[in-house]
């Protein structure tokens, strides 16, 4: 049984690492062998945004690389659609596996569903309820054409039910949905010990130091110079008390250059994007994390580090409900107020993100697909 996996952006490599390993495990003990053909759309292409994850996390090398990057949403998604459609014709897969909420996700889902190939969506059912986010548009459309909706949390299942899912037909069969748990939680458990062995803290002079870790790349922040200005003002103020470490996303870097505002970064510890293991080590050692990333919000909780989210809403509402995540948006004063409250976060025993076996459920569910 052949499946086509569509990848393109950093968080997808991390999610796919656990599922690809689970597919290998499945093949060792099952007669229904799954052959995975990997398509890299090229959306993220720098060594530190792509290659390093394949090497470090042992992801099989892509069979195809479409090399489509640095374009607007329309041309990027359109060219991906065309490229993926050609590969589907050539490879004739049994199903197409897509992850998360990027343009690569949407292109994979559209190309496959229009050719009648069942789509499997890992991380289905997430909603920020903000339809002006490109990621939300990608999520909503991908879910609608997917045959198998693999949800990380019970809230994701509830979101789909509220929208009338599962629909009676997608292609020729009814849609199926399952709560499998969070594949990024699986990754955290799998790589945690290796992350502790890295010298990330030593490398950046952070050993035994209190520091804040920050990531910033979401369009709602990076495309808006007022929001960026307000966020960086807060980060610079925090850096007067403890170092603020910011592995800078290439998009954010380019937009800071475009706005001509390099002074925003003064006093901050600016790094190139770091590898997954280094990032986990930084997260584990951080006093607190400020981020607009979806994945980093969750990882902050996995490592029990308080998180301050630089967005107006989140898909990962469990982290907020459990008291580990403050949603503050871009307002300088709100960010600083949350930073000063950080010590008031309390630990909590529940884990809504599953049992660390989410990825292992994927191959069998794909085999059961009608």
Which positions are catalytic? 217
Name which of 284, 257, 292, 286 is nearest 269 in CA terms.
286
Pick the closer one to ligand UDP by CB: 157 or 274.
274
Closest approach, Cβ 227 to ligand UDP, in A, equals: 16
Rounded Cα distance, 307 and 319, in Å: 9
User: Between the CA of residue 91 and those of 63, 98, 113, 130, what are the distances in Å?
Assistant: 11, 16, 15, 36
CB atoms within 10 A of CB 59: 21
Which run of H or of E encompasses 113? Answer: helix 103-114
For residue 163, which phi and psi values (nearest 5 degrees)?
Answer: -90, 5
Judged by DSSP in three states, 110 sits in helix
Pick the closer one to ligand UDP by CB: 26 or 298.
298
Closest approach, Cβ 355 to ligand UDP, in A, equals: 19
Closest approach, Cβ 12 to ligand UDP, in A, equals: 8
**168-177 burial: b if 16+ Cβ within 10 Å, else e:** eebbeeebbb
Contacts of the segment 55-60: beta carbons below 8 A, 24+ positions apart: 56/275, 56/276, 56/277, 57/13, 57/14, 57/17, 57/187, 57/191, 57/276, 58/17, 58/21, 59/13, 59/16, 59/17, 59/20, 60/20, 60/36
Q: Which residues bind ligand UDP (CB under 6 A)?
A: 10-11, 14, 215, 217, 247, 273-274, 276, 279, 293-296, 299
Pick the closer one to ligand UDP by CB: 270 or 322.
270
3-state SS of 302-364 is HCCCCEEECCCCCCCHHHHHCCCEEECCCCHHHHHHHHHHHHHCCCCCCCCCCCCCHHHHHHH
Rounded Cα distance, 79 and 59, in Å: 25
Closest approach, Cβ 294 to ligand UDP, in A, equals: 4
Closest approach, Cβ 70 to ligand UDP, in A, equals: 16
Closest approach, Cβ 315 to ligand UDP, in A, equals: 10
Closest approach, Cβ 155 to ligand UDP, in A, equals: 17
Pick the closer one to ligand UDP by CB: 215 or 325.
215
Are 305 and 212 contacting, i.e. CB atoms less than 8 angstroms apart?
no
Pick the closer one to ligand UDP by CB: 3 or 200.
200
Are 170 and 256 contacting, i.e. CB atoms less than 8 angstroms apart?
no
Pick the closer one to ligand UDP by CB: 34 or 265.
265
What DSSP state is assigned to residue 183?
H
Pick the closer one to ligand UDP by CB: 49 or 119.
49
């Amino acid at each position: 049984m052949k499946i086509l996996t569509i990848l393109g952006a950093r968080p997808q490599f991390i999610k796919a690492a656990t599922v690809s390993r689970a597919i290998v495990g499945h093949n060792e003990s099952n007669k229904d062998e799954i052959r995975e053909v990997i398509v890299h759309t090229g959306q993220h292409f720098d060594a530190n945004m792509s290659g390093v994850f394949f090497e470090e996390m042992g992801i099989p090398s892509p069979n195809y690389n479409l090399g489509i990057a640095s374009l607007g949403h329309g041309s990027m998604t359109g060219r991906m659609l065309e490229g993926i459609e050609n590969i589907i014709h050539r490879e004739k897969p049994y199903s197409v596996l897509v992850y998360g909420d990027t343009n690569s996700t949407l292109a994979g889902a559209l190309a496959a569903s229009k050719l009648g190939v069942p789509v499997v969506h890992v991380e289905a059912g997430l909603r920020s309820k903000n339809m002006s986010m490109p990621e939300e548009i990608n999520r909503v459309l991908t879910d609608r054409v997917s045959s198998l909706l693999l949800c990380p949390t019970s809230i994701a299942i509830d979101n789909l039910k509220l929208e009338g899912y599962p629909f009676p037909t997608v292609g020729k069969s009814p849609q199926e949905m399952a709560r499998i748990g969070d594949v990024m939680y699986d990754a955290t458990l799998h790589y945690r010990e290796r992350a502790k062995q890295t010298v990330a803290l030593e490398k950046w002079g952070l050993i035994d130091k209190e520091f804040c870790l920050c990531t910033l790349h979401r369009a709602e922040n990076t495309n808006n110079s007022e929001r960026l200005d307000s966020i960086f003002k807060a980060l610079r103020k925090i850096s007067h008390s403890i170092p603020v470490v910011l592995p800078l996303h290439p998009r954010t870097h380019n937009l800071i250059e475009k706005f001509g505002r390099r002074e925003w970064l003064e006093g901050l510890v600016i790094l190139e994007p770091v590898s997954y293991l280094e990032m986990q080590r930084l997260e584990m050692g951080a006093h607190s994390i400020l981020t607009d990333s979806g994945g980093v919000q969750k990882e902050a909780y996995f490592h029990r580090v308080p998180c301050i989210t630089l967005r107006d809403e989140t898909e990962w509402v469990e982290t907020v409900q459990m008291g580990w995540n403050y949603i503050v948006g871009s307002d300088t004063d709100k960010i600083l107020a949350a930073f000063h409250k950080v010590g008031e976060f309390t630990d909590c025993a529940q884990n809504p993100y599953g049992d660390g076996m989410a990825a292992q459920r994927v191959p069998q569910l794909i085999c059961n697909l009608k």
